[in-house]
Structure formats: C-alpha cells, structure tokens
Structure 1
Amino acid sequence: MSDWIGRAHAMTQLGVRAQTLYAYVSRGWIGARPDPADPRRSLYAASDIDRLAARQKRPRKAGAIAAGAISWGEPSIPTRLSTIDRGRLIYRGEDAVALSATATLEEIAALLWEQAAPPHFAEADHGAFASPFAALADLAVAAPASLHRSPTQLGIDGARGVARLASGFGLPESDDPLHARLAAAWRVDATGADLLRQALVLIADHDLNASTFTVRVAASTGASIAACLLAGLATLSGPRHGAAGASLAMLVGQAERHGITAALDQWLAAGHELQAFGHMLYPQGDVRAVPLLDRLTLDPVMARLRDAVREVGGQPPNIDFALCALARALALPDDAPFVLFALGRSVGWVAHAIEQVTTGSLIRPRGRYDGAMPTAD
C-alpha cells in the first residue's frame, strides 16, 4: 500500500466525514501534504490513518462518545444553515466567499432566516447604552418568548435584536445597511466601506461554534431572541472565542517594540496561543481570510509576522488575522475586530435561534460526574 492516500480513501478507512478528517489533520493526528499530481488536493499519511482506524475499533463507552462529540467531534445537531465542506464555507447551499463579493449582511440575513426581503437593522426610538450587553439586556427584559411565534415573527424579533446590538456599539441611526453605518461611524471611504461589507458577510455564520451553540441552547428553552443574542454575545466575549483579534493586537504591539523574532519567542515561551493563525476546520487555510487579505496591503509588521509564523508552524492567517489587518489598514478603533465579529455573527445567531425554536426540542446534555460520593455508613 502507498505511504500516502487520497481523501476519499482516508475517509472510508476511518468512517468519518471530511470535516472530521480535517480536524484530525489540524490536531496533528494525521500527516498531510499536497498531492504532486494536483496541488489543490491533499494526500494523507496511510500509517496515521491505520493507527487511528485501529484505535476506533476499540470498544468505547457511551459517555466517552458523547464527550467527544461536544469537543470538535462528529456533527451532532442537524442544521440547514451553514457547514464547512472541502475547505468551503456554505450558507444554505451557497458558497459564502462567492456571496461576499457583492452581498450585504442584510441580504445574508434574508437568506439564512428565509425571509422574503432583507431586514432593516435600525430602531427609531432607543436610549443610550453603556455597552452592547446593556443594550441587549434592556431589550430582553420585555421581549416576548420565542415559543409559539412564527418564523416571520421571529425574524422581526431578530431584526430588532440586531438593531439594538448595533445601537449598543454606538452606530448612528439610519436606514442604510450596517456596513455603511459602520463606515460613517469610523469615517472610512467607499472602498473601506465595501471591505467592511465583505467582512460582515464572511463572519455571518460558521457551523456550530461556541457562541452559536450557546444561542441554540437558550433558544431551545424558549428564551426571547434578544436573550439568545445576549447569550451569544456573552460567549463571544471569552478570550478563547471572540478575543482573538485583541490577542493578535497585543502580539503585534510587542513585535513593533521588540522585533518579530523576539516577540514570537516571548509569546510562545509564555504559553500563549497563536489564535489568529490556522483553523481546525480549514487544514489548507481559512477561506474567509483570503478574499479580505487579497484586497489589503499588509503593513510591514503584519506581513513579517505572517511570514514568521508560517516558518515556525506553517499555519496560515485566519479570519481573526484578516480582521486585525483590516482594522490597521483602515485605522479603525481598537475594538473594531470584535465589533465586526459580533455584528456579523449576530445574523447567524438569529438564524440558529429561529431554526432551533422551530424544532421544538430542548438541548439538555448530561454531565459526567467525577466528584466524591457520600461515604457508606
């Protein structure tokens, strides 16, 4: 047998889908290299495949299987919204990168929410809010529960929730699309506004990530759409999810002060992750980053950092790197990557909330107790 085998053969040997195979490669469990006959395809190390296949044949307890599904395991919740297949991000059967060439976030909302027309993310009357969290919390207090509401009604709730989130981020009120309102707030030109539009579309949804899973759990209880959005935003605020841009900004700052090599050495020695590079679902590179980076001229520090990381670990830039590069290129506020991520992803959160509510099922995993038990008398 050859030392290297194709994707279809590898999937058959392991009995997994492409997403799981890519995850195994990203974890370092399976070696991969470009196919000399077609560099667009990959070959996989047959010995690694055989070892994993043998391990999978060992009996596993139900609890271990369930635990594996929670952490980058096999897909476990049916959805028609988005998936990553063969390195492509798909929104309801359409290529997200292709959509990002011209679509607005509002048009993506209509697609994902299955609405007849793009929604307007603007409120006529609202107060001033100290933060986006406060804005959504204020709305959630009086918002109706999501149970027993039609998809059309839920779409109206979703539009109001996204509008309130935009208000919480300080966007000026307007009937213009969100990217145009961001451009006005950040004072960027038409080219910059179009980059913001594309970034929002590329961020809109991404399978069952941590914040989206949280949204679906909240929606499964019948919580209001505003409450679901608040749950998603709270999860996104965690440093292992939505704070990758801030992490990269810190690394870039160190690189500007101490040089690329010294900054990387110090960063890795401190045990920090290179969050803005590589992605478990994109072994060949994050396709969301490519269209943005193709339109940007990286400043010298970002360019050298990208090249240095490739030399150290071979990981290409991901969407978080692209958002940070975009913010630097347009001289945006420090929190711009997070704002873009939250506003773009809010459309996907609403879509998942609507889909989950319409299933009528409650998401309720079981815990595996590892604690002490009462002593026997």
Structure 2
Amino acid sequence: MKYNFPNKNGYFGKHGGKYVSEILINILNKLEKKYFFYRYKFNFINKYYKELKNFIGRPTSIYFAKRLTKFLKGAKIFFKREDLNHTGAHKINNVIGQAILAKIMNKKRIIAETGAGQHGLATSTICAKFGIKCTIYMGENDIKRQSENVKKMKLLGSKIISVKTGTKTLKDALNEAMKDWIKNVKNTFYIIGTIAGPHPYPMIVRDFQSIIGYESILQIFENKINIPKYIIASIGGGSNSIGIFYSYIKKNNIKLIGVEAAGKGLHTLLNSSSLNLGKLGVLHGNKTYLLQNKNYQILSTHSISAGLDYPGIGPEHSLLKDLNRIDYEFIINKEALKSFIIFCKIEGIIPALESCHAIAYAMKLAKNLSKNKIILVNLSGRGEKDINNINL
C-alpha cells in the first residue's frame, strides 16, 4: 500500500492537525522547521545513534520465548526486548531525540507528562545527563501506583507536580503540562511521550520510535528467523506500537495487531478502548478517536496499567484503523494479569503491565496457529514498577 503521512498540514487522513492557541502555533511551526532541517543532518543523526548505542544500550535483542511457545503448543513467539533499554522501556528512544532538539533550540527547561512513569523517568534521565532543568506532571493516582518511578525521577533531580484534577491520571497530567508550556513557551521545551498531541509531535515521536521496527527487520535476517506472520503491540497513546509497526505498514503479507486496554470490559465504562469504542473529536491539540459521551464530553477511563489509561489515541493509529491496515483488538485486566504471572514464571522476565496486554493476546492467538507460524511481540517495558500493585 502507498503510505506517506502526515501531509504538509499535519494530518493523517482526517486525523491530526494543530488545535492549539496562536502562541503555540508559532512555537510548533518553529519546532517543525528545526526538526525538518536537522533530522537528516549527519551531526544530528550521528549524535542520536551514538546516544542510542552508548547510553541507552541499543540495539535491543529479539528473543525466542522457547518455553512459552512449548507451553502454548502453537506458533513460535518472539519478543523485541525494549525492556532492556536504559530506564526499562521504549520511551527513551524518543526522549533522547527530542532532548537533542531542545539543546539545539537553546531551551533551558524541559517539561513532560507521564502515566506509568516510564516517560517521566526517561525524560528525567536525559535531563540529568544534559544538565537541563526538568519538571514532570503526573496524576495523583498514578503517583500512588507508580511510586518506584517517582522516587527515581526525584533522585535524578526532577520536580514532580502532582495533578489532583479530573481523574488524576495521564489525561489530566497532559492538560496541566500544556498549560505550563503556554505560560513558559520562551524557555521551555515540552517533550511529549506519545504519538498524540498537535503536529509535528505525532510525526516526531513516531520517527524516533521507528528504530524498534527497523532494528527488528535487520535482526530477523541476521538471525535467519522466518518472517513473522503477526506483529503485536499494546496500545495506549500508541508510541511503542507505531514504533514496531511503522517499518511493516507497506508489507501487506504481515498482519499487524494493536491491543487496547479493555479494563473491566467493553460493555462497562471502565475501559480505555478508544479505537474500539471512540468517536472523532479533539483533545490535546489533535483530532482523533476519543472516548466520549453523547454530548462529546471526554469519558473517564480505566486500566490496570497506568500507561494505557488514556481516553484517546494518536492520529496515525486512527488513520490506520480507517484504512483497515491494523487490527485493533482488546484485553481485559484479568487476562493481562494472568499473562503477567505465566510469563514471569515460564520465561524469567518481569514485563510491564502495559506489555502484558500484547502478551495476553499473543498467547490467545498462538494456541490456534500451527507451529510453523511466527508471532513477534513488542515487549515495551519491564514490570518492576508494577510489582506493588499486583496481588500474588
């Protein structure tokens, strides 16, 4: 299929755009120009890849889950091990790129929002490395359930602002971060952690995260692995999934599956499944599918995983849904928890609860496939941050 998005106005089909105040339009335009100017410059690319290799620890490996495959008696399951990155998740792939841009633009302060804490931790880490002041916005409820990452961020010198409005989760943290940005736009760079938000952020985050899929293609050939029939990733805002999917979008012989958090079920109001249940609307500077009521008010969301607890989705995923290029499935809390326990005991890896949604769906799928089929799952992060929230 032909695929070259976003267009010059920042739209992925009818999704995307810049739905922000005039003061932010100007700064977004400057960011877009800087990004387009530097992204193919040797010095920028060289610095980015050096940081990926020497600081982050890339490339992450592709791992054959031999015992899990044997346990399921079906398709072979491989994992792209983003949990092996420094800071423990895929988030740092994007953060390091945006932080280099912030340095180029001579910004003295960086802000970010975070849900599960992995984006906040990655941002805090890079700010400490580069010597830039850092403020992290995080919902009060997420601070409680992700206390380990909060402690790490503080150790790294970041200021943590607890957001006590709304549902006190990721959506509200993003609201407050955007307000801060508007007030302090001259000296502050906002590192958005997912492929949502106003253009050019969905494009920038996707480009930096696409290292995941690009590496996986090289590793499949280097390790003489048969080409996967299915590639699976969990979806909240959508950065880890687009990171692995992007290099495969034009390969129509490979099925791409995004897995949303269905919480306590799609039949309840306690879920975060914007692609399965959402309607077109505007939130956080972009037009996309959102969980809304009949009066177009944003609904509260729920997921056992803080990183998937968001009422919207990146505009690129909304387009890919419209094009029927990606199948968007869902997993409820109980299924994610069950896969967490099985995966820990069988493979000796503690996965993030976000990743467990993809693992759970892969396990269901593998049982019904022949042994010569291959599934590749993006293991987006490690789960030490979730241990205190799981009753064994």
Give 1 or 2: higher helix fraction: 1
- Of structures 1 and 2, the larger Rg is shown by 1
TM-score (norm 1): 0.26
Give 1 or 2: higher strand fraction: 2
TM-score (norm 2): 0.25
